[in-house]
A and B are shown apart, each in its own frame.
Chain A
Amino acid sequence: MNARSQALLQVSGLVKHFPLKKSAFGRGGGVVRAVDGVDFSVSAGETLGIVGESGCGKSTTARLLMHLITPDRGEVVFDGAGVGGRDLSLRDYRRQVQMVFQDSYASLNPRLTIEDSIAFGPQVHGLARGEAVQRARDLLARVGLEPRRFAERYPHELSGGQRQRVNIARALALQPRVVILDEAVSALDKSVEAQVLNLLQDLKDAFGLTYLFISHDLNVVRHMSDRVMVMYLGQVVEIGAAQGLFESPRHPYTRALLSSIPSMDPDRRTEEPPLAGDPPNPIDPPSGCRFHTRCARAEPMCAQREPARPQVFPIASGGGPGVAQPWGRSQVACLMYEPGSGHSAAPAATSPDPVRVEHP
């Protein structure tokens, strides 16, 4: 099946700038460029992993997708219908796309019993209370919590892993098609984390779910994802099939990021120097390529010219030279791969690039 022909979720040109508070004397007033032009698409049934350092805009992207914050610009198309438009109301969209948060305790109302928390969503969408509670109990059993023991308990009586199972059940209560997992297992112990990851895989197979798996843990992302998107300072730097991306990363940032994973195999150690320092301030991002300040392969022109964003379109029609995007190689936003960009490693302007689709 050509999964790419039917994108379930298409995001294009997503931008969110948070204005800074102005000081009393009218100074300041800049913006934090949390998400600055992000495009990607997710096919039905796949898991898209999103990785990056803290502050790179992973969570903001998740919240934008959920419309918990309103994007400044950009478009989210779900199953062919623009979200918030005439075809798909925000309310209907939210029934299909759900989210699991990182903090398992803060994401449950301490005054509600577990089953009431889970049954809340279905009741909002018109299910009678009795049926909603029944669904909550069924889901509790499904996520491995015995309903008789847990349904009428309060969140503070559960362990972190149990609470995260409840949060997963709560997200599934609306029978969504897409679940956004925003660092959903990051706060758990390693053993519990593995159990929850297995549970997530089981649920994905059972309910035919599509996951957006956000994490800073590269090994977990590799284990879970079909495709991976790497973000840096609010932009996508590389996106591609998980195996290809992890085995032969192309963007210098991805390489540096992956080299930070301790390798068990001495032959597989990368030569790439690890990243030093913190990412630059997103209030005032570097000119040109945002990574040039920390990039081992940077050349003077990298500060001048902004690399083109990885293309996710055109996807729709099969065939044609523009669609030749092999699963094996990822798409990058890097001048080294841009024909005629002027970077010494870049291919000549005339040479046909097998991956990039140049557009005017």
Chain B
Amino acid sequence: MLHVAVDPSKVPAVAFERSPGYWQTVGRRLLRDRVAMGAALVLLLLLVLAVFGPLLAPADPYKASMLSRLKPIGTPNFPLGTDELGRDMLSRLMVGARLSLFMGITPVVCAFVLGSMIGIVAGYAGGRTNTVVMRTIDVFYAFPSVLLAIALSGALGAGITNSLISLTVVFIPPIARVAESVTTQIRNRDFVEAARASGAGAFTIVRVHVLGNVLGPIFVYATSLVAVSMILASGLSFLGLGVKPPEPEWGLMLNTLRTAIYTQPWIAALPGVMIFATSIAFNLLSDGLRSAMEIKS
């Protein structure tokens, strides 16, 4: 270290001292969390598969072959074996990442937008509005989520769009509930009172003072729902309510391969392994995000 006497007049006009913002700090803390980073790496790989799966797949995932049905893992040309119609499992798992992730993430994103809106409005309005909105939301809570998803999909009819809609409806109540509770907490803080005292309207206060404090926790909760959503979507496909054959989707593959569970149990389990890995990765990442965001209460 060199200590040099500095003439204050010679120091160039320094810029404003800026400390890292909240999200920068959260990002830095998240990068130091090894488990979360591992989970993020897995998710990154899955994302690559989802985007480039069809290009990377070694074989055509739709090409059936009656001669090579249910080949075991390690068969030449079929590193992960074949399914009940003789299609290459590796290719189908890779290509299936796109639909499965899409089915897992889309409903959560939609429910995040809608549920946050409902919850924040109810939480900020408080009083009677809150009671009416939240009791209505509670009605949906009365049904187990699996049952609700199946009932809605069944009523709407099979198909990707309909299962996305029904899954969105399933996830709106829990997200709205979380949004309502964090908003209620923030609403009673003095800085919101101070904002009201400055004459700001409700919309401005929510935009400037509430959203920034509320979206983080809701987002963390929503990421943990992605895993549930994937499992539910797989379940719908398994029941024949979601994705239709011959599309490769992990839930559907699990369904069609169940006939092979006694002859080729390892192959039958493969799509389940993919679902398991993805949901674990999402859960670990959201856990990491949660602890990274707990900087100071």
Taking beta carbons and an 8 Å cutoff, which residues of A are in contact with B? 63, 66, 68, 90-92, 94-95, 98-99, 101, 103, 106-112, 117, 120-121, 124-125, 147-154, 156-157, 167, 170, 174
Interface check B294, CB cutoff 8 A:
no
Q: Is B196's CB under 8 angstroms from A68's CB? A: yes
Residue of B nearest to A106 (CB): B190
Q: Contacts A152-B19, A154-B22 known; A125 to B199 CB distance under 8 Å?
A: yes
Interface check B193, CB cutoff 8 A:
yes
Q: Is B16's CB under 8 angstroms from A152's CB? A: yes
Chain B residues, CB < 8 A from A152: 16-19
Chain B residues, CB < 8 A from A90: 199
Q: Is A91's CB under 8 angstroms from B199's CB? A: yes
Chain B residues, CB < 8 A from A170: 194
Interface check B204, CB cutoff 8 A:
yes
Chain A residues, CB < 8 A from B201: 124
Chain B residues, CB < 8 A from A63: 193
Chain B residues, CB < 8 A from A153: 17-19
Residue of B nearest to A95 (CB): B199
Q: Is B189's CB under 8 angstroms from A106's CB? A: yes
Q: Is B200's CB under 8 angstroms from A124's CB? A: yes
Q: Contacts A101-B190, A106-B189, A109-B209 known; A120 to B199 CB distance under 8 Å?
A: no
Chain B residues, CB < 8 A from A99: 194, 197
Interface check B208, CB cutoff 8 A:
yes
B7 to chain A, nearest CB (A): 18
Name 15 extra pairs, CB < 8 A, besides A109-B208, A111-B22, A121-B195: A90-B199, A92-B199, A94-B197, A94-B198, A99-B194, A101-B190, A103-B190, A106-B191, A107-B194, A109-B191, A110-B213, A111-B212, A153-B17, A154-B22, A167-B194
List 9 A-B pairs, Cβ < 8 Å: A98-B197, A101-B190, A106-B190, A107-B193, A120-B195, A148-B16, A151-B16, A156-B296, A170-B194
Residue of B nearest to A125 (CB): B199
Chain A residues, CB < 8 A from B208: 109, 112, 120
Chain B residues 16-35 with CB under 8 Å of chain A are 16-19, 21-22
Chain B residues, CB < 8 A from A111: 22, 212-213
Which 8 residue pairs spanning A and B have beta carbons closest together? A121-B198, A107-B190, A111-B212, A94-B199, A106-B190, A91-B199, A152-B18, A124-B200
Chain A residues, CB < 8 A from B14: 148
Residue of A nearest to B194 (CB): A107
Point out which of B17, B190, B194, B201 has the most chain A C-beta atoms below 10 A from its C-beta. Answer: B194
B200 to chain A, nearest CB (A): 4
Q: Is A120's CB under 8 angstroms from B198's CB? A: yes
Name the contact of B19 in the complex, choosing from A91, A92, A98, A154 (C-beta under 8 A).
Answer: A154
> Could you tell me the distance between the alpha carbons of A157 and B213 in the complex, rounded to whole angstroms?
17
Residue of B nearest to A154 (CB): B19
Chain A residues, CB < 8 A from B191: 106-109, 117
Sorting the interface of chain B by its residue count into under 10, 10 to 19, 20 to 34 or 35 or more gives: 20 to 34
> Could you tell me the distance between the alpha carbons of A90 and B201 in the complex, rounded to whole angstroms?
11
Q: Is A147's CB under 8 angstroms from B16's CB? A: yes
A68 to chain B, nearest CB (A): 5
Residue of A nearest to B15 (CB): A148
B128 to chain A, nearest CB (A): 14
Chain B residues, CB < 8 A from A106: 189-191
> Could you tell me the distance between the alpha carbons of A207 and B191 in the complex, rounded to whole angstroms?
24
B105 to chain A, nearest CB (A): 26
B180 to chain A, nearest CB (A): 19
Q: Is B17's CB under 8 angstroms from A148's CB? A: yes
Residue of B nearest to A99 (CB): B197
Residue of B nearest to A89 (CB): B199
> Could you tell me the distance between the alpha carbons of A308 and B128 in the complex, rounded to whole angstroms?
38
> Could you tell me the distance between the alpha carbons of A147 and B204 in the complex, rounded to whole angstroms?
26
B269 to chain A, nearest CB (A): 46
A19 to chain B, nearest CB (A): 12
> Could you tell me the distance between the alpha carbons of A103 and B190 in the complex, rounded to whole angstroms?
8
Chain A residues, CB < 8 A from B194: 99, 101, 107, 167, 170
Point out which of A92, A117, A147 has the most chain B C-beta atoms below 10 A from its C-beta. Answer: A117
Residue of B nearest to A102 (CB): B190
Point out which of B16, B199, B296 has the most chain A C-beta atoms below 10 A from its C-beta. Answer: B199
Q: Contacts A109-B191, A156-B296 known; A124 to B199 CB distance under 8 Å?
A: yes
Residue of A nearest to B296 (CB): A156
Residue of A nearest to B25 (CB): A154
Contact with A along B162-203 (1 / 0, CB 8 A): 000000000000000000000000000111011111111100
Chain B residues, CB < 8 A from A98: 197-198
Q: Is B19's CB under 8 angstroms from A68's CB? A: no
Chain B residues, CB < 8 A from A121: 195, 198-200
Q: Contacts A106-B189, A109-B213 known; A68 to B197 CB distance under 8 Å?
A: yes
> Could you tell me the distance between the alpha carbons of A107 and B193 in the complex, rounded to whole angstroms?
8
Chain A residues, CB < 8 A from B204: 124
B57 to chain A, nearest CB (A): 44
Residue of A nearest to B192 (CB): A109
Residue of B nearest to A167 (CB): B194
> Could you tell me the distance between the alpha carbons of A94 and B197 in the complex, rounded to whole angstroms?
6
